[in-house]
Structure 1
Amino acid sequence: MTEFKNKLLTRRRALAMLSAAAAGAVTTLVPQCAWAQDQRVLRIGYQKAASTLVLLKAHGTLERHLARLGIEVKWAEFSAGPQLLEALNVGSVDFGYVGEAPPIIAQAAGANFVYSGYEIPTPLAESILVPQHSPIHTVAELRGKKIAFNKGSDVHWLVISLLKKANISYSEFQPIYLAPADARAAFERGAVDAWAIWDPFQTAAIKQLNARVLASGAGVVSHHQFFLSARPYAEKNPAIISAILDEVGKEGQWIRANVKEASVQLAPIQGLDKDVIEIGLKNYAHIYKPIDNKVLEEQQKIADTFFELKLIPRRISTRDAVLAAPAAKV
């Protein structure tokens, strides 16, 4: 009985952490239990910064592809990865796109998902920024400083990795956990010393706030992006998951061949200048691959580090979050 209570307490703590990270999610979906939704509806969670999914939604190609199978696609927007993973965890989303760290937090919280695909490394698409005239010029000078970032997001791992490389432990700086919009406001008014953020918000801050890149992820982190599926949905609908990934791949190809046009189309959706978006787009690869052992090993490194830092309550194996067989194609 004691062992059962300990396991229950561990799960509750992990869920509390994930729920805390989910504050401010931009979604109108109501949580549903045990994926009891109509199997004819595919629910996709996306972030406004995730250009490939945003354009896939705008172009309607996935809807047209799946309509012949009688499947309706519904989209829900989230402010960041942790918020999206909370929705997947409670069964409100079937498929989504997030960074490196959110799946680790979610898996430790007991979220029942699987890795379905990933984007090849894009380390220049995230960085730690400082004000242009800040006296801070090296990562080593962040010891004791206030760094704003979204808790449990991919830049959480960036901060840990960059500071570790500079021999700064996690207890030797002040993490200020803020969602992107709030972090930008804090950065702009000088309430924090630095801000860890991803594109297109990174490029927007550089262009609009004259922010300076202190250090990017280059040579330190891979900054993979992942497509995740709710395990029950992926097990029952492998052909649909495969169809999504096929369409995502085609959309990525279109973006790479039409960066300027993609920027023009994204500008009114993301609320940013097209020149800012164009630079941000070039920092991503828009090339997606099936999950493989190498990327799972990199995720395992993040998971082990998060456990050592007590950012997750239990050890996990990232290999537990994959399906045994590859998906079929529609």
Structure 2
Amino acid sequence: MKRRTLMSALPLLAAPMAFGAATKGEIRVGFQKGGLLPLVKVRGLLEQRLAPLGWSVVWREFPAGPQLLEAFNVDAIDVGVTGSPPPIFAQAARADFVYIAAEPGQPHSEAVLVKPDSPLRAIADLKGRRIGLQKGSSSHYLLLASLAKAGLTLRDVQPVYLSPADARAAFERGAIDAWVVWDPYLTFAQAATKARVLADFSVLAPESPPWSFYEARRGFAAAHGALLREHVIPVLAEAGRWANEHREESARLVAPRFGVPEALLLQLGQRVRYGAVPLTSAIAADQQRIADAFHAQGLIPARIPVKDAFWGG
């Protein structure tokens, strides 16, 4: 059978970017606007660690996790980080990646938003409404879980699958009734529009919000496991500890990249904790529950064994 691609599983994504294959001694890192990696990039931490070993670092930005994971499938990046759902969709599509480390979930770093003057006051009020979100993203699961807690399913609402930038435009002009999005888009949107939060993981799963994951192209992990285990993952773990202890300096370093006030990034940083941690059977079980929820809604075609994509190192 011809292998399904992530793009066929998520037809509303943009076409894969035309990146070249890796050269010897080059590691290509996929990142998004939020999370730890922009700080790692600004501080040059991977470059400092890997240059003495003869490796250079190439950084490639993506608008969301699904697009980043598709880049593994077309040999455009070697390492990246996403929220919890994108690798589930990618594994269901037999994408070319493995999980290599995890990062603790954040209860307030994504939310279901409505405008401040919206008549919607609870998730149950979303019935029949148009809701903007990135398909296959971490916010997809937040919406799924929020609706389930209110006794609803995706069939009770009108999902409108949009990238974060397109969703914000639709939200601001009233083309959608609610928007589900993650940081930094969440923090930026709240500051600009005074959007109101209907739900986040602090209510749905306050003690165990979904993990984020660092991933690698399967072939890269097989060929360069020692590089990942002894250098890349330790850099991410240490960078996370530093960011957690130096929030003001982190905001100062990253603010010019976003073109937003440091105070806004500091506000964002106060509600997250960074740092790569080893994969465990408990983390696999948490991720499996999310995968099973997507399968139960018919969003992935078959039940997937999440742990099959966990890297052994």
For the 8 Å contact 2:108–2:201, the answer to whether it is kept is yes
Find the aligned partners of 2:246 and 2:69 in 1 and give their Cα distance.
30
Match for residue 265 of structure 1 among 241, 245, 253? 253
The alignment partner of 1:218 has SS state of helix
Indicate whether 1:55 and 2:16 are aligned: no
For the 8 Å contact 2:6–2:70, the answer to whether it is kept is no
Q: Which residue of 2 aligns with 1:278?
A: 266
The alignment partner of 2:152 has SS state of coil
* Cα-to-partner distance string for 1:270-296 (whole Å, 9 max, x where unaligned): 232222211111221113211111111
* Cα-to-partner distance string for 1:179-234 (whole Å, 9 max, x where unaligned): 11111111111111111011121111111101011111114241321100111111
Q: Which residue of 1 aligns with 2:14?
A: 23
CA drift of 1:109 comes to 0.8
Find the aligned partners of 1:288 and 1:218 in 2 and give their Cα distance.
21
The worse-fitting range, judged by mean Cα deviation, of 78-87 and 302-311 is: 302-311
Q: Which residue of 1 aligns with 2:234?
A: 246
Q: Which residue of 2 aligns with 1:12?
A: 4
The alignment partner of 1:168 has SS state of coil
The alignment partner of 2:112 has SS state of strand
For the 8 Å contact 1:139–1:214, the answer to whether it is kept is yes
Aligned pair in 2 of structure 1 residues 165, 146: CA closer, same or farther (>3 Å)? same
* Cα-to-partner distance string for 1:53-90 (whole Å, 9 max, x where unaligned): 11111111211211111111111110110000000112
* Cα-to-partner distance string for 1:146-178 (whole Å, 9 max, x where unaligned): 111111000000000000110011100000111
RMSD: 1.6
Find the aligned partners of 2:155 and 2:116 in 1 and give their Cα distance.
26
Indicate whether 1:212 and 2:212 are aligned: no
Unmatched runs of 5 consecutive residues or more in structure 1: 1-6
Unmatched runs of 5 consecutive residues or more in structure 2: none
For the 8 Å contact 2:81–2:213, the answer to whether it is kept is yes
Q: Which residue of 2 aligns with 1:3?
A: none
After superposition, residues 1-330 of structure 1 pair within 5 angstroms as: 7-8=1-2, 11-12=3-4, 15-18=7-10, 20-23=11-14, 29-30=19-20, 32=21, 37-50=22-35, 52-221=36-205, 222-242=209-229, 243-324=231-312, 326=313
Find the aligned partners of 1:14 and 1:229 in 2 and give their Cα distance.
15
For the 8 Å contact 2:4–2:94, the answer to whether it is kept is no
| TM-score normalised by structure 1 residue count | 0.89
Find the aligned partners of 1:176 and 1:89 in 2 and give their Cα distance.
25
Find the aligned partners of 2:258 and 2:50 in 1 and give their Cα distance.
26
For the 8 Å contact 1:13–1:313, the answer to whether it is kept is no
Identity %: 38
* Cα-to-partner distance string for 1:214-273 (whole Å, 9 max, x where unaligned): 111114241321100111111111121121111111211221121112112211212322
Find the aligned partners of 1:246 and 1:103 in 2 and give their Cα distance.
22
The 4+ residue runs of structure 1 with deviation greater than 6 A are none
The alignment partner of 2:54 has SS state of coil
| TM-score normalised by structure 2 residue count | 0.94
* Cα-to-partner distance string for 1:80-128 (whole Å, 9 max, x where unaligned): 1000000011211110000011000111111121111111121210110
The worse-fitting range, judged by mean Cα deviation, of 256-265 and 182-191 is: 256-265
CA drift of 1:24 comes to 6.8
Aligned pair in 2 of structure 1 residues 252, 62: CA closer, same or farther (>3 Å)? same
CA drift of 1:21 comes to 4.6
For the 8 Å contact 1:81–1:99, the answer to whether it is kept is yes
Find the aligned partners of 1:119 and 1:282 in 2 and give their Cα distance.
16
Aligned pair in 2 of structure 1 residues 228, 201: CA closer, same or farther (>3 Å)? same
For the 8 Å contact 2:284–2:307, the answer to whether it is kept is yes
The alignment partner of 2:221 has SS state of helix
